[in-house]
Every structure is written in structure tokens, then in C-alpha cells.
């Protein structure tokens, strides 16, 4: 019975609801114990798998204890940042705290939400507050993870750059 | 697996009429009513019809009795025409080719060549053999176990979010990019939004809105204060006018008991919404 | 070790080769026994799963003893391939790399764009290059998904012993 349940879950692209499972099992008297087996599976999982309750029913997923291993299979090779992302990061690093319109002013083009999201996902930038001007724009700063990644003790260690600074 | 394949004998049995194999088509070329259309439909082209005829007559591909095959082939074409079935032009082309081969078979073999390539049937035999091979190979593919038909693979199990690989970026990259930005000659001035079409009557619409809301000191729903039967431009101007009045704090947005936004003239400080 | 192997296979959308597994396991001394475990898995499977050798690697599939049950879950079976599609696929599989005019020559009829599109949509054929003849016709080959669908370890496993052709 457990094998049958596992076979269904493992071959299914979507989560399976109790109703769906019932429609598969219920006219077969040999499968009477399926609900007890489902509950057991839900409680203890099976090997590297755990049964999770998600929208639309249950699905098997890999237990997080295998994350380190899975990362070796799935994580793609590091890629360079796009020029747009790099510029945005540079403006925030050197001009912080800085608003998005100010970043756009420095770069001369609009900054996509996607870029800001990407840098936030990395944990490199964060909103530190809001400027008290109309619209109260968010003020962006770099994080301690940013400093760690680039082996900087503090922002003061950012190399000084010469240029015509007139803002 | 070898068992499964030996069972495959791509033959006329592939052609069925009303679920019955058409191997039993009587000799003498009697064609049951309605069968011809189904029969011809099941062939993808004249070559396949020809191959089927040869197999049905148990003839040798490498030694085709061209006269007999041509007679039978033309019979099917005539039948099809008699029953007003549409046949692709390739069927007539094949008929012409068969007739040509038949004619050349009647000519004496020139003494200068004893090359077996001279056999005018050779090209036809080659093409029929190629088709026979393809039919056999297609039958083999059909018998191979197929995912979702004969077996099911696992659908990859999801896993928790994995840590992202850090991108390839160095401090020097950031410094260089910043340097380049600093040296960039011209920068766009901070953008400001201005209305470029005064003639659409923003001021007037603002005045109308204010007047409308002042008539009765109660919160108004958006629908109530929009101009009746407004077009897109009028709606856009109304919205701009409303936003401008909100910005100037001439009007305020309030939330009613059901949590819907309403517009009201500012008088009660307690229900004002920070904007 | 078995759990770790299963976790990798269960989370992978494509077959994993021994080389791929080696690159994941080999610099971890705790994982020294993975090859023995792989062979054991290959021999006896695990619960409802069996390990199959396809497309140059291994993948998990549900043991056929559960087919009746799975057919109840996967009710919308894939549409069977038409004769024309199957023949076109057969020419590409057996004759690759092959151009469209060559496919038409083998089959004795023109090959519709629709059929080529259908085979591409299934991910079974791709253009691998162009023949350096006038018109530079595209050269079609089958993909690893083709091998996966037909459960073939490699193209060399396509049966080649001709049966009774002249039937």
C-alpha cells in the first residue's frame, strides 16, 4: 500500500488531494488502508522524501537535510553580473544612502525593479529608511553581507575613485 | 525485446477497414463499396500504394512484374476517378513512371552495356526498398517501450530553495564601473513629470471636482465624481485632477466602514489619510 | 549513502551519468561507497522504483507492476503518434544526421512542416547543423529526450536486425 502511494506521488507532476487519491483507490477493496498509510507517510516520510501539504493536496519533496548534496547537483556555475546590475551596485556602494531616482540620475537610464530585486536576493542591498521628500522614496544601502563578500572591513575601505564629482 | 520485434511485420495488415485487416481483399481486384476511399486514405503516397500491391501479390521487389503491377495500380486509379475521389498529382506521376518503365522493358538491351544498372526497374526497386526499411523502422519504434504509455518515469521531486551561487564579481569590477560612471560626460537631469496638454482642461476638471465634492460634505465614491459617459482621455484627466487635488490637500482619501476608498473634502482631521 | 543517491535521482529532471555522480561525490570521503550502492540500486531498485539506464545515464522510473494503478492517475494518455510522424521520426533516428529532402526521399512523400514541428515540440529532434551543399539544408538529429522517451541507453541500442521486409 505504501508502495502504491509512493508510485502515485512520484509519477505525478501536481500535488494529489485526498479526493483524487480516493477516486483512484476507493473502488479497490485491496487498497482500503490507503488513508492510514498516507497519514503515516505524512508523519515520518520515506527515505530522503517527506510528504508536504501544499495548495491542492500533498506532494513528496526532498528532505532539507540533503540540501548540501542537492546544491552540488543543481546550483549552476557562477556567472558575472550584468553591466546594468554592476552599475547599480556601484552607485549604491559609493553614494549610499541613495534613492532609486538618484541611481537613475547617475546611470542615465531607468533602473529595473528586477535589478533591485536581484541585488536584494543576494542580500547585498537593503532599504534603510525613506527620504522625507514628496513620495518618501526608499533609501538604499549596502549590507554587511556585501562587505563580507568583498572582504571589506567597512565602507571606508572602498577604494577611493577620482572623478569629476558634481552630482 | 527481440520477441516484440519479430512480431512486427509491416505488411498490408497495417491497413484496416472497419477494424478488419484488409489482407482479405479478394483477388480479381474487387473493391468493396466505401473501402477504396479508406484504403487510399491510409496511404501517404503512391509509393506506399505500390508497395502494398507488391506485397499483397507476394511479388519480389527486386524483380517486379511491371506489367501486372501497372495494370493493378491503374485499376485503383480508375476506380478512384470513377468514384470522384481526389487523388494527389503524385499518383498520376507514378502512373507515368510505371508506363515508362514498362515501355523500356520492351526495348532490347543495348549490346554495349551488360551493366545490371541498366534494368529500368532498378530506381523503382530502390525507392520501394527504402520505404520498406522506413516502415520496418517505424514499426520498431512503435514497439519500443514509451514513457507515459508503457512505463512512467518519476517527476522530479521539488526541494527547498538552495543557496544561490555567488556571481563572478570582484571589488575591482565595482570600482571600475564607478570610475566610468563618474567620467561619463553628461547625465540626465532628474526627471520631472509635466503635463504637455493643457488644453485637456486639467484646471477646469479640478475646479469641477472640488465644486462637486463641496456640494455635500460626505465621502464620495470614485464612480460618483467621474464625468458621465467619459472617454479614456476624460477619465485620465479626471484621475490626474483628483491626484493633484489630493497632493494639494484640497481633498483627502478616506476609508469607509467597508474598507473602500472615498474622496472627501477635508474637514474632519481624524479620518484623514497621510498622503 | 543510498538515501543520498536516491535524493539526487529523485530531484533530477534528466538522467545522471556516472561521471556526473562522480563529480558530486568524489571529493567527499564519506561518499566512497556510492558506486557499490548505485550498482545495488540498479540491480534491485527501491520500493516502487527501479533504476533504468537511458540516454547515457540513469534515471528512476516506476516499476511496471504499478502500471494499472498509474493508468488510473494519468488518465489523459499521450496521443499515439500518427503513421507519418512515426515514419519521419524513424528516418531521423536511423539515418541521422539527415536533411528534410532526404527524409522525403526515404519516405517517398513530402514531409509536412507540421510533423517536423510536432517532433520538435516534443523535444525529440533538433537541427544539429547544415549540410554544405547548395541551399545549406538543415541536418536533423534526435535528442537525448528522444532516447529518454523510448527508454534507449544510446542510439546504438536502436534495433537493427531487419525482419521480413518483403513481408
Along the 167 residues of chain C, how does pLDDT read in single tens digits?
Answer: 888 899 999 999 899 999 989 988 887 777 888 889 999 999 998 889 999 999 999 999 999 999 888 988 888 877 889 999 999 999 999 999 999 999 999 998 999 999 999 999 999 999 999 999 999 999 999 999 999 999 999 999 998 866 544 33
d(Cα A119, Cα A138) in Å, to the nearest integer? 15
Buried b (16+ CB within 10 A) or exposed e, A31-58: beebbebbebbeeeebbbbbbeeeeebb
Q: Name the strand (E) or helix (H) holding A60.
A: strand A57-62
Strand, helix or coil for residue B273:
coil
Find, among B57, B10, B54, B15, the residue nearest to B32 by Cα: B15
pLDDT(B200) > 80: no
**pLDDT, tens digit, 9 for 90 and up, residues B25-43:** 445 555 665 677 777 778 8
Interface check for A5 against chain B (CB to CB < 8 A): the answer is no
Distance CA A97, CA A117 (A): 17
pLDDT recorded at residue B8: 40
Chains A and B form CB pairs within 8 A to the count of: 114
**A143 burial class (0-12, 13-18, 19+ CB within 10 angstroms)?**
middle
Nearest by Cα to A5 from A33, A29, A28 = A33
Q: What is the ipTM of this complex?
A: 0.75
Highest averaged pLDDT of the listed ranges A20-34, A80-94, B72-86: A80-94
Residue C27's pLDDT is 78
- Across C14-28, b (16+ Cβ under 10 Å) vs e yields ebbeeebbeebbeee
Computed over every residue of chain B, the mean pLDDT equals: 76
Mean per-residue pLDDT for A98-118?
A: 89
- Cis-peptide into C97, omega within 30 deg: yes
Neighbouring chains of C at 3+ CB pairs within 8 Å? A, B
Min Cα–Cα distance to chain C from B165, Å: 16
Percent of chain B residues topping a pLDDT of 70 = 73
Residue C137, pLDDT score = 93
Q: Which of residues 139-158 of A touch B (CB under 8 A)?
A: 149-152, 158
C11, C80, C105 ranked by CB distance to B157: nearest = C11
Residues of C in contact with A2 (CB under 8 A): 47
pLDDT score of C130: 93
> With contact defined as beta carbons under 8 Å apart, do B95 and B81 qualify?
no
Q: Would you state the pLDDT for residue A26?
A: 81
Nearest to B181 among A106, A122, A152 (CB): A106
C77 to B147: CB separation less than 8 angstroms, yes or no: no
Averaged over A128-132, what is the pLDDT?
Answer: 84
- Which neighbouring-strand residues pair with B8? none
Helix or strand holding residue A58 (H, E):
strand A57-62
B152/C70 CB distance under 8 A: yes
Instruction: Specify the pLDDT at position C165.
Output: 42
How many Å apart are CA C94 and CA C156, to the nearest integer?
Answer: 10
* pLDDT of B113 over the 90 cut: no
Name chain B contacts of C94, Cβ cutoff 8 Å: 137
Q: Please give the pLDDT value at position B111.
A: 63
Give residue-wise pLDDT tens across range A11-41.
998 889 888 998 888 877 778 888 888 999 9
C47 lies within 8 A of chain B by CB: no
Comparison of pLDDT for B24 and A93, the residue scoring more: A93
Inform me whether the pLDDT recorded for B12 exceeds 60: no
* Intra-chain end-to-end CA distance of chain C, in Å: 53
Least CA distance to B187: which residue of chain A? A108
**Do B133 and C165 make contact, defined as CB atoms within 8 angstroms?**
yes
pTM of the entire predicted model: 0.67
- Measure the CA–CA gap between B47 and B69, rounded to whole angstroms: 12
Q: Indicate the SS3 state at residue A61.
A: strand
**Among A37-41, B184-188, B209-213, which stretch is predicted with the lowest mean pLDDT?**
B184-188
pLDDT tens for residues B234-266? 788 888 888 888 888 888 888 887 878 888 887
Does pLDDT of B90 surpass 90? no
Per CB-CB distance under 8 Å, the chain C contacts of B156 are: 10-13
Q: Do B187 and A152 touch (CB under 8 A)?
A: no
Give percent above pLDDT 90 in chain B: 11
Say yes or no for a CB contact (<8 Å) between A72 and C24: yes
DSSP B80-137: HHHTT----HHHHHHHHHHHHHHHHHHSPPPTT---GGG-TTHHHHHHHHHHHHHHHH
* Amino acid B112: pLDDT: 59
Q: Which residue has the higher pLDDT, C139 or B60?
A: C139
Q: Quick one: which of C163, C143, C166, C165 has its CA closest to C155?
A: C143
Cβ–Cβ gap B45/C151 under 8 Å: no
Mean pLDDT confidence for B46-71: 89
Average pLDDT over residues A46-64: 88
* Residue A126 at interface with chain B, using a CB cutoff of 8 Å: no
Q: B with C: how many residue pairs have Cβ under 8 Å apart?
A: 129
Alpha-carbon span B10 to C166, nearest angstrom: 9
Mean of pLDDT values over B117-146: 89
Mutation for testing the C interface, residue in A69, A72, A75, A76 having most C CBs under 10 Å:
A69
* Cα distance between residue A42 and residue A47, in whole Å: 12
Beta strand extents in chain B (DSSP E only)? 16-17, 20-21, 251-255, 261-265
CA quadruple B7, B12, B14, B20: dihedral, nearest 10? -110
The total of other beta-carbon atoms located within 10 Å of residue A126's CB is: 17
- Three-state DSSP at B269 gives helix
Task: Find the mean pLDDT for residues B85-103.
Answer: 87
Instruction: Spell out the residues 6+ positions from residue A153 whose beta carbon is closer than 8 angstroms to its own.
Output: A147
Question: How far apart, in whole angstroms, are the C-alpha atoms of residue C144 and residue C160?
Answer: 19
User: For position B192, what pLDDT does the model report?
Assistant: 53
In this prediction, residue B213 carries a pLDDT of 81
Amino acid at each position: 500500500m505504501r508502495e502504491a502511494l509512493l508510485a502515485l506521488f512520484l509519477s505525478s507532476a501536481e500535488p494529489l488531494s485526498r479526493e483524487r487519491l480516493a477516486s483512484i483507490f476507493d473502488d479497490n477493496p485491496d487498497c482500503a488502508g490507503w488513508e492510514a498509510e498516507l497519514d503515516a507517510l505524512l508523519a515520518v516520510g520515506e527515505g530522503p522524501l517527506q510528504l508536504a501539504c501544499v495548495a491542492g493536496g500533498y506532494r513528496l519533496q526532498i528532505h532539507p537535510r540533503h540540501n548540501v548534496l542537492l546544491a552540488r547537483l543543481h546550483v549552476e556555475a557562477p556567472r558575472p553580473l550584468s553591466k546594468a546590475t554592476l552599475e547599480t551596485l556601484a552607485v549604491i556602494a559609493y553614494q549610499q544612502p541613495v534613492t532609486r531616482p538618484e541611481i537613475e540620475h547617475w546611470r542615465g537610464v531607468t533602473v529595473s525593479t528586477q535589478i533591485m530585486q536581484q541585488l536584494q536576493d543576494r542580500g547585498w542591498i537593503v532599504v534603510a529608511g525613506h527620504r522625507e521628500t514628496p513620495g518618501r522614496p526608499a533609501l538604499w544601502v549596502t549590507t554587511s553581507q556585501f562587505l563580507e563578500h568583498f572582504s571589506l572591513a567597512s565602507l571606508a575601505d572602498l577604494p577611493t575613485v577620482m572623478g569629476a564629482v558634481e552630482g | 525485446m527481440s520477441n516484440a520485434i519479430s512480431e512486427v511485420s509491416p505488411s498490408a495488415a497495417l491497413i484496416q477497414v472497419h477494424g478488419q485487416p484488409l489482407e482479405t481483399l479478394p483477388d480479381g481486384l474487387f473493391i468493396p463499396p466505401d473501402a477504396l476511399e479508406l484504403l487510399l486514405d491510409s496511404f501517404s503516397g503512391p509509393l506506399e500504394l505500390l508497395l502494398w500491391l507488391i506485397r499483397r501479390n507476394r511479388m519480389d521487389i527486386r524483380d517486379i512484374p511491371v506489367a501486372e503491377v501497372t495494370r493493378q495500380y491503374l485499376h485503383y486509379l480508375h476506380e478512384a476517378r470513377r468514384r470522384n475521389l481526389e487523388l494527389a498529382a503524385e499518383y498520376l506521376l507514378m502512373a507515368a513512371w510505371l508506363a515508362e518503365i514498362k515501355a523500356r522493358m520492351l526495348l532490347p538491351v543495348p549490346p554495349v552495356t551488360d551493366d545490371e544498372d541498366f534494368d529500368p526497374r532498378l530506381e523503382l526497386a530502390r525507392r520501394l526498398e527504402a520505404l520498406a526499411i522506413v516502415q520496418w523502422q517505424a514499426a520498431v519504434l512503435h514497439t519500443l517501450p514509451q514513457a507515459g504509455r508503457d512505463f512512467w518515469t518519476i517527476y522530479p521531486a521539488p526541494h527547498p530553495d538552495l543557496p544561490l551561487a555567488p556571481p563572478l564579481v570582484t571589488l575591482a569590477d565595482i570600482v571600475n564601473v564607478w570610475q566610468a560612471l563618474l567620467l561619463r560626460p553628461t547625465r540626465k537631469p532628474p526627471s520631472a513629470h509635466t503635463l504637455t496638454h493643457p488644453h485637456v482642461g486639467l484646471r477646469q476638471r479640478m475646479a469641477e471636482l472640488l465644486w462637486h465634492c463641496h456640494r455635500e460634505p460626505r465621502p464620495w465614491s470614485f464612480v460618483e465624481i467621474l464625468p458621465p459617459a467619459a472617454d479614456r482621455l476624460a477619465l485620465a484627466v479626471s484621475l490626474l485632477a483628483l491626484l493633484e487635488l489630493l497632493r494639494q490637500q484640497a481633498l483627502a482619501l478616506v476609508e469607509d466602514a467597508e474598507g473602500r476608498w472615498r474622496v472627501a473634502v477635508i474637514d474632519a482631521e481624524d479620518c484623514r489619510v497621510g498622503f
